[in-house]
Structure 1
Amino acid sequence: MSVSLQKGQKISLDKEAGGALTRITMGLGWDAIKTKGLFGFGSKSESVDLDASCILFDENNKPVDYVWFRQLKSKDGSILHTGDNRTGEGDGDDEQINVDLSQVPANVKSLVFTVNSFTGQNFSQVENAYCRIINAADKKEVARYDLSVQGAHTAQVMAKLYRHGGEWKMHAIGENGSGRTFEDLMPRITPHL
């Protein structure tokens, strides 16, 4: 059963997954903006480039690595981005970030996931935009955010995964912001570390 995320909610990923969670996927999906021409004829699609990113932080809340469209793999190999989708075409997740939690280096205390509109459209203009966390073992959705209802924002700090008492937990941040890349969101991320 998927948890529809609420801003500020904290959940145990192991409990939501029904057991120890070792591999997760952050999925991001959306559709191109469809506009109708004059008198309903000649409709066209406007490409939308949303980007999923993951920032790795150490015990001192300093970023130690980034996974995003310009760097598709963490330096240690535990986190892998499947590639940049620049249109939103196709069904299902348009971008994914796969995380092997058992391989994340011990010096990494938390992972922060963000979504940005690289092309600048705000989420209220984008059809069917969502981000979610999936248990990679059984492909079941653990948690989900509907981005299209978030209003006139171009970015969101989605969630933080962090180590606590020997397991990974998730804090649903859901803070909206503006910016084309995760770097623009750093001032909004740091208060949640």
Structure 2
Amino acid sequence: MPISLQKGQKISLEKEAGGTLTKIVMGLGWDAKKKKSFFGLGSKDQEIDLDASCALFDDQNRPMDIVYFGQLTSRDGSINHTGDNRTGAGDGDDEQIIVDLSRVSAGVKSLIFVVSSFTGQSFAEIENAFCRVINGSNNQELAKYDLSCNGSHTAMVMAKVYRHNNEWKMHAIGENAAGRTFQDLLPAMVRAL
């Protein structure tokens, strides 16, 4: 049974997986709220392009690499982004970042996962937003974090996956931020470390 994470909660991913964990998938999903048409008559679909990104940090909290829609694979080959979904249409994960924990460079201490509205809409225009962590070996959902919240923010620092005593743990951060790209979010990522 997956854990429904609360803001600030920390878990051991390996404990949730029931043993050694070698691969995880961070899934991001969302839907755009229907937009009221002129004079409030009816509604229409809108497209919102949320982007999932993952930054790799060393033990000095310095960024070492980034995986996002413009660089789908980390330099060490351990992290892969499945590609950009520009609308949020469809069920399930709209974007995924796959992490082979066994291949993450030894110098990497933390992975910070962020989401940003590339098209600039605020989270007040988004519904059913979530991130979830899946065991990449058996597709078992380990944890899920609800990102839906009304607000004027255009980005969020979702979660940190980090090494602690030779074990991978996860911290549900859920900090609102502003920005359209991972570059805009680097200060918020560093604060989350």
Tell me if structure 2 keeps the 8 A contact 1:54–1:66.
yes
- Partner in structure 2 of residue 92 of structure 1: 92
| Cα deviations by residue, 1:149-168 (Å, 9 ceiling, x for unpaired) | 25332111111111111111
Tell me if structure 1 keeps the 8 A contact 2:122–2:152.
yes
Tell me if structure 1 keeps the 8 A contact 2:145–2:172.
no
Superposed displacement of residue 120, structure 1:
1.2
Q: Aligned runs of 1:56-95 on 2, under 5 Å?
A: 56-95=56-95
Superposed displacement of residue 40, structure 1:
4.6
SS at 2:158 equivalent: strand
- Partner in structure 2 of residue 109 of structure 1: 109
| Cα deviations by residue, 1:46-71 (Å, 9 ceiling, x for unpaired) | 10000000000112211110000110
Q: Aligned runs of 1:139-154 on 2, under 5 Å?
A: 139-149=139-149, 151-154=151-154
Superposed displacement of residue 95, structure 1:
0.4
Report the Cα distance in structure 1 between the residues aligned to 2:122 and 2:144, rounded to whole angstroms.
Answer: 19
Report the Cα distance in structure 2 between the residues aligned to 1:5 and 1:39, rounded to whole angstroms.
Answer: 37
SS at 2:173 equivalent: strand
1:12 counterpart = 2:12 = yes
Superposed displacement of residue 191, structure 1:
2.4
Report the Cα distance in structure 2 between the residues aligned to 1:112 and 1:103, rounded to whole angstroms.
Answer: 17
Greater Cα shift, 126-135 or 107-116: 126-135
Greater Cα shift, 49-58 or 124-133: 124-133
Tell me if structure 1 keeps the 8 A contact 2:122–2:151.
yes
SS at 1:183 equivalent: helix
Report the TM-score, using the length of structure 2 for normalisation: 0.93
1:53 counterpart = 2:72 = no
Report the Cα distance in structure 2 between the residues aligned to 1:151 and 1:120, rounded to whole angstroms.
Answer: 13
SS at 1:85 equivalent: coil
Tell me if structure 2 keeps the 8 A contact 1:50–1:118.
yes
Number of positions where the alignment pairs a residue of Structure 1 with one of Structure 2: 192
Tell me if structure 2 keeps the 8 A contact 1:157–1:176.
yes
Aligned partner letter, 2:118: F
Superposed displacement of residue 44, structure 1:
2.3
Tell me if structure 1 keeps the 8 A contact 2:53–2:113.
yes
Tell me if structure 2 keeps the 8 A contact 1:33–1:48.
no
- Partner in structure 1 of residue 29 of structure 2: 29
Report the Cα distance in structure 2 between the residues aligned to 1:117 and 1:89, rounded to whole angstroms.
Answer: 15
For the aligned residue pairs, the C-alpha RMSD in angstroms reads 1.5
Tell me if structure 2 keeps the 8 A contact 1:150–1:176.
no
Tell me if structure 2 keeps the 8 A contact 1:27–1:132.
yes
Tell me if structure 1 keeps the 8 A contact 2:54–2:67.
yes
Alpha-carbon spacing, 1:145–1:152, altered in 2? closer, same or farther (3 Å)? farther
Greater Cα shift, 180-189 or 18-27: 180-189
Identical columns (%): 66
Tell me if structure 2 keeps the 8 A contact 1:55–1:111.
yes
SS at 1:179 equivalent: coil
